[in-house]
A and B are shown apart, each in its own frame.
Chain A
Amino acid sequence: MTLLAVERIKLFSTRSPWWCMALALGLMVGFAGLVSASASNPGQVSVPVSQFGFSFALAVILVLATLSVTTEYRFNTIKTTFQAVPSRTSALLAKTIVVAFTAGVLGLVAAFGSLGIASLIQPNADMALNSEADWRQIAGTGLVTLFAAVVAVSVGILIRQTAGAVSILLAYSLVAENLVQLIPSVGADIHKWLPFNVAYRFLTGNPERAVDFQGPGSSTSTLPPWAALAYFAGFSVVMLVIAIVVAKRRDA
């Protein structure tokens, strides 16, 4: 608990996390507002459509989580941290938990905020959450951002440099996974199992159909949604374990 308090103080006593959070929230809610305001009739606006800006918010959340680690390396406060808490596993785990929890709450607020603004602008659109899939799409956002933050923190620990870690994460999650599909014959099969693609399956997948949703956030994974989340969570935990093992071996 003590260590969580330490990481909470560290995270919120500088300005950049606040900017990132405001930006993530603004982007997602802003896109929801834009999309619903430009719809010609209420029928074009739905629960999934309100989540149009999610991938942008996710990108910002990845940056936020990465910065929480790389700035510590950049300014050498990681050394002070390990000096105060010599157990690197505990120190890094506490940081991961605080950052992931923050990202989770942020994702949740952004998703509900987007839903809210969309139904405000299009009061006649069907924005009711009346299926498990609807709830999963909105409330599940928090779970995806939570585990995505774990991935970002891990990459931050491994790479240690802001520019490198952020470019790797954004290039991978926004571009590389999709490019894999272009590989002849096996590309599509590999893509099915790539973590961010699978994570989208949890949000947008409908258990009645193998692949249903088209549009932003669509996924080619065929896993049942909760299995997709477990897969993504497992991936994030593996990344974290690798990062902590490496951090323990390296000089601070």
Chain B
Amino acid sequence: MIEARGLTKRYGKTLAVNDLSFTVQPGRVTGFLGPNGAGKSTTMRMMLGLDNPTAGVALIDGKHYRELHHPLRQIGALLDAKWVHPNRSAYAHLRWMAVSNKIPTRRVDEVLDLVGLTAVAKKRAGGFSLGMSQRLGIAGALLGDPGILLFDEPVNGLDPEGILWIRKFMHRLADEGRTVLVSSHLLSEMSLTAQELVVIGRGRLIAQRSTEDFIHAATENTVKVRSPQVSKLRDALAGTNAAMRDDADALIVSGVDAAQIGEIAAANQVVLHELSPQRGSLEEAFMQLTGDSVEYRTELAESVDQMVDVNR
């Protein structure tokens, strides 16, 4: 289990992580979701004792990272696949890690086999493709057969095959009863990978709940209506608590369901050409939720405003 309690990190003027508290339970994949710059990587570095928190603690099975005896046997992590010396072979890279935590060297061959890198084990890691580097990173994380695993954006830059491979891998690890925390800035990806979500924005916790609940609550249900008598339908719907907006030649209605709209249309003798319930897109929902917490958006908006002012 991983526990963050009031975790806070300040870099100069930037408050990267702000009073963040959440827990990560074993036996399922927990998605750590947030837009770019939300503080996911920073939080993970603090969990591993690499960055010192400004306030708060991150506990690994109830202990500080630096109190762990052979940490690689308890918690494996892949924060960045490029954290390898380019002129060192994959085998040598894993070997020094194994020796440092008294892990038998035969385990190095095992994990290389597991991620499918046996054939290139003696090649220099600098020549690896992104997918291979990612696999080497995963091999390093699995080296000590740890009960807890952290992965920071493991599918970034991978092709669909690689993404599928990693997703299945995560599920297998969780099914084995391990604690798995995977970060991502894509809700669509997390909806397929994670059973539980910890959502952050601007360093703050936005929600921690099951993926299903989160998506259900976050996505707005709308109904798409097309009719040759749009204005008549509008008037009829105006009396209800429906919200409407135009989308090309269609009307997007929210607040009332398709059945109600059909009945209202019938009662008012409005012809309908289409009446289809829509599920709001995940990404839209996510942007809505983290909207005011996206770091760069405000700055971007401001600079656009300035440019407009200048042009006037």
Contact with B along A73-89 (1 / 0, CB 8 A): 00111011111111100
Do B96 and A6 touch (CB < 8 A)?
yes
Residue of A16, A82, A85 touching B50 (CB-CB under 8 A): A82
Instruction: Evaluate contact between A13 and B96: CB separation under 8 angstroms.
Output: yes
Q: Is A186 an interface residue (CB 8 A)?
A: no
* Total B residues in contact with A, Cβ cutoff 8 Å: 33
Q: Does A252 contact B (CB under 8 A)?
A: yes
B99 in contact (CB, < 8 A): yes
- A86 and B95 within 8 A (CB): no
Query: Cβ of B288 < 8 Å from any Cβ of A?
Result: no
- Kindly identify which residue among B50, B51, B84, B97 contacts A75, using a CB–CB cutoff of 8 Å: B84
Closest chain-A Cβ to B81's Cβ sits at a distance in Å of 11
* A79-B85 in contact (CB<8A): no
B102 CB–A CB distance under 8 Å? yes
Q: Is the CB of A86 within 8 A of B79?
A: no
Q: Give A contacts to B, CB under 8 Å.
A: 2-3, 5-6, 9-10, 13-16, 71-72, 75-77, 79-87, 249, 251-252
Q: A75-B86, A77-B85 are in contact. Are A83 and B99 (CB under 8 A)?
A: no
Structural contact, B49 and A76, CB atoms closer than 8 A: no
In the complex the two chains form, what is the Cα distance from A16 to B52 in whole Å? 32
Complex Cα spacing A131 to B93, Å = 47
The digit string for B59-96, where 1 denotes a CB below 8 A from any CB of A, is 00000011110011000010110111111110011011
Let me know if B278 is at the binding interface, CB within 8 A: no
- Of A9, A82, A249, the contact of B99 (CB 8 Å cutoff): A9
Bound-complex Cα distance A77 to B102 (A): 19
Residue of A nearest to B82 (CB): A76
Q: How far is the CB of A186 from chain B (nearest CB, A)?
A: 40
Bound together, the chains give a CA A252 to CA B77 distance in angstroms of: 15
Interface residue B58 (Cβ < 8 Å from any Cβ of A): no
**Is B45 within 8 A of A14, CB to CB?**
no
Please report the C-alpha to C-alpha distance between residue A14 and residue B89 in the assembled complex, in whole angstroms. 8
Q: How far is the CB of B28 from chain A (nearest CB, A)?
A: 24
Q: Cα distance A70–B158 when bound, in Å?
A: 30
In the complex with contacts A76-B82, A79-B83, A84-B101 CB distance below 8 A: yes
Q: Are A252 and B50 in contact (CB under 8 A)?
A: yes
* Binary contact track B131-144/A, C-beta < 8 Å → 1, others 0: 00000000010000
A-B residue pairs in contact (CB < 8 Å), sample of 12? A2-B99, A3-B100, A6-B96, A13-B96, A14-B85, A75-B86, A79-B45, A83-B50, A83-B77, A85-B100, A86-B68, A251-B51
Which residue of the partner chain B has the closest CB to A251?
B51
Contact A5 B99 (CB under 8 A): yes
Closest approach, in angstroms, between the C-beta of A20 and any C-beta of chain B? 13
- Mark B100-121 against chain A: 1 for CB-CB distance below 8 A, else 0: 1110000000000000000000
